């Protein structure tokens, strides 16, 4: 028994010593912000200062570990005092929020890619003065202000930041607060790079796989590929914009545009010639990649389930990892029809908010894989609840992510804590400054050969902003960088949803 205890204690001593040295280095670094330095001074010894026990015997050490325990903070006395933001240039404008507290601990969150930061600022008056460690309580009070897709961005940003604070307050990683981890690294999937020729694309794919180390890829199989090829699409011209393009992401000010028209209502069809062209696109990529690497697909175009089934059957032989968002997520019955008709797995979910709207897809086994975006689905805990529920029905979970390293790391913690997880999207693989937006606490490598590192000791989300890099990559429309948001402090409405 003593031998086992001795091994555990020696291991703990080494881990505590490493953590102590890491924090000491950060304290002595002149570039460390004052707020971070003050926090480190309060927490440098941690809950149990093993580094001070190197000379103690086993019995003395055990006694020491059960007395005079110094907390990382006083979590029960924490209060939210402020919320501020910086609008980054990631994905055309993605906001990072910072929730501050009365103890100098702050948390980072992110408003989903290209969503308005006011979705988060609107919530500030509703969370001021609350204890940020009451994550679920706060979430339940604000979730009524979220909605599908980017409308959920504010609620999810706040939820991420609360877990970051809570982890820092108790000196544990966010995954520990979700129930522990299943894995030490998280598999990523990345887009296949586009190129002007098959030879160039082969070179780029080899770089993606052999140099960057990605073991799962994704590609678009869009009717946009059929542009300028006569006889491949029926009724396409009617929907083209003034540039002759089927603009899939739409015109925000024209609700009747192609991109804003749901799939069943365009009456676009793909001809046999069109299917052959798209088959060739997939075959070329499959031949370059081989069959060991899964290839997911997305962004086919806006056409009905009949054409979706025809396309899927034409591509079934390439053993693709999944067909994603073939019709809008709201059409649960249509999803069940597609899933029953084809061999390739189906998935949807990046725009679904909360477990309640995943339930029909899961209960009816309408898809083979759920695909939430944590910045829309409700944050870390709600996404884990969604995954756990799907697991009971034999349904796996992949995760959509197209933001900054803040939401990326929130996803990593959730994926680590979820058993039925498959792969997490990394949408900024080729953005050279993307990883530099943050510094990892303890210096772990955020992405290593196609996998994200799960921080084993770093508290909260395990990252801090590199403020100079963030400042260098602010969106041109808003360069304010964590300015005061006092105008959002006052609560002006009664929010109860029942009488």
Q: Residue 290 falls within a domain, yes or no? A: yes
**Domain encompassing residue 267:** 179-467
Residue-wise pLDDT tens digits, 50-105: 444 344 444 444 334 333 333 467 899 999 999 999 999 999 999 999 999 999 99
Q: In the listed set 176, 194, 215, which residue is the last one of a domain according to the structure? A: 176
Q: Residue 407 falls within a domain, yes or no? A: yes
8 Å CB contact between 298 and 373:
no
Rounded Cα–Cα distance for residues 333 and 302 (Å) = 18
Residues 334 and 392 in one domain: yes
Residues with Cβ < 8 Å from 457, sequence gap 6 or more? 15, 19, 173, 442
Q: In the listed set 176, 205, 222, which residue is the last one of a domain according to the structure? A: 176
Residues 154 and 292 in one domain: no
Return the CATH number at 329: 3.20.20.120
Residues 265 and 392 in one domain: yes
Residues 254 and 372 in one domain: yes
Residues 238 and 311 in one domain: yes
Residues 107 and 256 in one domain: no
Give the per-residue pLDDT at 61.
43
Residues 326 and 192 in one domain: yes
pTM here is 0.86
Q: In the listed set 142, 176, 210, which residue is the last one of a domain according to the structure? A: 176
8 Å CB contact between 434 and 90:
yes
Give the per-residue pLDDT at 25.
73
8 Å CB contact between 442 and 457:
yes
Extract the residue ranges of the chain whose pLDDT is less than 70: 1-20, 22-23, 26, 31-72
Residues with Cβ < 8 Å from 22, sequence gap 6 or more? 441, 442, 443
Rounded Cα–Cα distance for residues 149 and 112 (Å) = 8
Cα-to-chain-centroid distance, residue 206: 26
Rounded Cα–Cα distance for residues 371 and 456 (Å) = 25
Residues with Cβ < 8 Å from 310, sequence gap 6 or more? 270, 275
Q: Residue 162 falls within a domain, yes or no? A: yes
Give the per-residue pLDDT at 76.
95
Q: Residue 64 falls within a domain, yes or no? A: no
Residues 224 and 294 in one domain: yes
Q: Residue 231 falls within a domain, yes or no? A: yes
Return the CATH number at 146: 3.30.390.10
Residues 200 and 310 in one domain: yes
Residues 295 and 393 in one domain: yes
Residues 234 and 261 in one domain: yes
Both structure tokens of 155: 């609620």
Q: Residue 98 falls within a domain, yes or no? A: yes
Q: Residue 217 falls within a domain, yes or no? A: yes
Q: Residue 39 falls within a domain, yes or no? A: no
Residues 260 and 127 in one domain: no
| Total count of domains within the chain | 2
């Amino acid at each position: 028994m003593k031998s086992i205890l001795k091994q555990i204690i020696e291991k703990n001593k080494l881990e505590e010593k490493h953590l102590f040295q890491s924090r000491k280095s950060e304290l002595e670094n002149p570039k460390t912000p004052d707020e971070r330095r003050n926090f480190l001074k309060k927490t440098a010894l941690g809950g149990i200062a093993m580094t001070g026990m190197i000379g103690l015997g086993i019995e003395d050490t055990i006694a020491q570990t059960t007395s005079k325990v110094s907390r990382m903070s006083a979590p029960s006395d924490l209060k939210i005092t402020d919320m501020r933001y910086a609008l980054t240039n990631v994905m055309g404008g993605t906001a990072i929020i910072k929730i501050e507290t009365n103890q100098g601990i702050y948390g980072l969150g992110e408003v989903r890619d290209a969503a308005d930061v006011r979705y988060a600022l609107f919530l500030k008056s509703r969370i001021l003065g609350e204890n940020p460690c009451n994550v679920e309580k706060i979430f339940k009070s604000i979730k009524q202000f979220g909605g599908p897709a980017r409308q959920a961005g504010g609620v999810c940003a706040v939820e991420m930041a609360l877990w970051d604070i809570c982890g820092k307050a108790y000196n544990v990683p966010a995954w520990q607060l979700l129930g522990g981890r299943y894995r030490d690294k998280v598999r990523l999937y990345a887009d296949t790079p586009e190129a002007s020729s098959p030879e160039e694309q082969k070179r780029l794919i080899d770089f993606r796989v052999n140099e960057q180390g990605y073991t799962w890829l994704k590609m678009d199989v869009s009717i946009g590929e059929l542009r300028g090829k006569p006889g491949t699409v029926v009724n396409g011209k009617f929907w083209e914009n003034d540039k002759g393009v089927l603009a899939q992401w739409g015109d925000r000010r024209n609700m009747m545009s192609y991109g804003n028209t749901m799939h069943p209502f365009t009456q676009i069809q793909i001809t046999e010639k069109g299917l052959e062209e798209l088959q060739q696109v997939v075959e070329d990529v499959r031949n370059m990649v081989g069959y060991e690497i899964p290839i997911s697909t997305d962004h086919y175009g806006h056409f009905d389930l009949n054409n979706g089934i025809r396309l899927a059957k034409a591509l079934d032989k390439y053993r693709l990892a999944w067909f994603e968002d073939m019709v809008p997520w709201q059409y649960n019955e249509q999803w069940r029809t597609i899933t029953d008709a084809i061999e390739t797995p189906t998935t949807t979910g990046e725009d679904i908010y909360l477990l309640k709207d995943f339930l029909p897809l899961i209960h009816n086994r309408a898809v083979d894989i759920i695909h939430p975006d944590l910045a829309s689905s409700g944050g870390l805990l709600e996404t884990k609840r969604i995954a756990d529920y799907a697991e009971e029905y034999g349904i796996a979970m992949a995760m959509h992510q197209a933001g900054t390293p803040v939401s990326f790391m929130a996803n990593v913690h959730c994926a680590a804590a979820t058993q039925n997880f498959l792969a997490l999207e990394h949408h900024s693989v080729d953005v050279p400054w993307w990883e530099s937006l943050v510094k990892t606490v303890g210096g772990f490598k955020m992405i290593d050969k196609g996998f994200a590192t799960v921080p084993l000791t770093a508290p909260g989300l395990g990252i801090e902003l590199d403020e100079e890099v963030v400042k260098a990559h602010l969106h041109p429309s808003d360069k304010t960088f964590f300015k005061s948001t006092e105008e959002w402090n006052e609560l002006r409405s009664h929010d109860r949803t029942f009488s």
